[in-house]
Amino acid sequence: MSGIQVSLNNANLWNKFNSPMEMIVTRKNGRKMFPTLEYSVRGLNPTAMYEIYLHMERMDDHKYRYKYNGWDDYARADPITPIQKIKHKSGGQTGMYWMDGPISFEQVRLTNNSEMEKKDHIIIQSMHKWRPVVTIRELKNGDEEFRMENVWFVAVTIYYNPEIKSLKVENNKMASGYREAGHHKTTVLPTRGTKRTVSEAFPTPPLSTSPPSKIARHFPNPGNFEFPKMNPNDGNSPIPHHLPNQENFEFSKMNPNGHSPIAHHFPNPGNFYLVTEHQYWMNPYQNTWNCGYNMGQQIPQPMFVVAK
């Protein structure tokens, strides 16, 4: 006997779970174990060099299923897989180094993909029982293996025993999102306004062949304005405009097509009067038709006639 002693450093956590333990295995990326495997070592030569390995050992030749709230061996086991020993990431170290603190294999992942060849991945078969085995290799004197009697598990792709799942969620800090009072922060989205369509934001005037009689506007000096008489054809009056020198303007009579003229503002009116060819309501500040079948079209330029 070498006198080396190996114990489970986090045995209190493992003892919380009812036997048998269930460990999830996945094909794509593998799954880390929880609880993790943490060991304490005593009895090493402080100055000698050691390497420490971990592998999984199948416990029997049975395949299991979960039935009636328990595990039952119902079939012969699958062909056994080759042993894969995972070397601890610290490499070769002195006995003093290994005895100084817990030895964790938290980097190890379990997979049931027989073609997986990634580092730190151990290939095991689901629905079989497995036991972790620690190997301590002294570089001069060879290997020595250690097994914990109560440390073993059934490999599964989903949890079958609800108590095992609840205990893992309760004790695994990486599973806080599954708890009812998890530690995940709730993101509060900013309040957004009501989305409106283009037609709601900029409503289109209703199409009508009967334009409004007049448009009210604000004029600084109302005394300079005159509203012409109503159009005898449709009862609509033209749009009023600011005329600086009203006596020099003359609104002509109806043109032969029955259209009334539109008044415009001219800086130096002189002896001119204005004749246009359209009767539909216009927006003089945008120079476009606002309703009727000519809505949105450009206003024709007025014709100027020298008064005799």
Of residues 255 and 165, more confidence is placed in 165
* Burial class of 81 by CB neighbour count within 10 A (0 to 12, 13 to 18, 19+): middle
Instruction: Over range 262-277, report the average pLDDT.
Output: 44
The predicted model scores a pTM of: 0.58
Tokens of 45: 């030569």
Please say if the pLDDT value at position 273 is more than 50. Answer: no
Of residues 274 and 141, more confidence is placed in 141
Q: List the domains of the chain with CATH numbers.
A: 5-176 (2.60.40.820), 208-308 (no CATH)
Please say if the pLDDT value at position 103 is more than 60. Answer: yes
The amino acid sitting at 77 is A
pLDDT reported for residue 76:
95
Rounded distance, CA 244 to CA 29, Å? 86
Least reliable range by pLDDT among 95-109, 120-134, 213-227: 213-227
Q: Do β-strands 249-251 and 272-275 pair in parallel, antiparallel, or remain unpaired?
A: parallel
pLDDT reported for residue 87:
96
Of residues 252 and 50, more confidence is placed in 50
Q: What is the largest CA-CA distance in the chain?
A: 136
pLDDT reported for residue 45:
95
H-type alpha helices, the chain: 11-14, 95-99, 162-171, 198-201
Q: Which residue has the tokens 């497995």?
A: 130
pLDDT reported for residue 269:
46
Q: What is the pLDDT of residues 153-211, one digit of tens each?
A: 999 999 999 999 999 999 988 765 455 554 444 444 444 444 455 445 445 555 544 45
Instruction: Over range 61-77, report the average pLDDT.
Output: 94
The amino acid sitting at 8 is L
pLDDT reported for residue 56:
97
Q: What is the pLDDT of residues 121-138, one digit of tens each?
A: 999 999 999 999 999 999
pLDDT reported for residue 186:
41
Residue 284: band (very low, low, confident or very high) from pLDDT cuts 50, 70, 90:
low
Rounded distance, CA 261 to CA 71, Å? 99
Residue 301: band (very low, low, confident or very high) from pLDDT cuts 50, 70, 90:
low
Please say if the pLDDT value at position 146 is more than 70. Answer: yes
Least reliable range by pLDDT among 55-64, 179-188, 225-234: 179-188
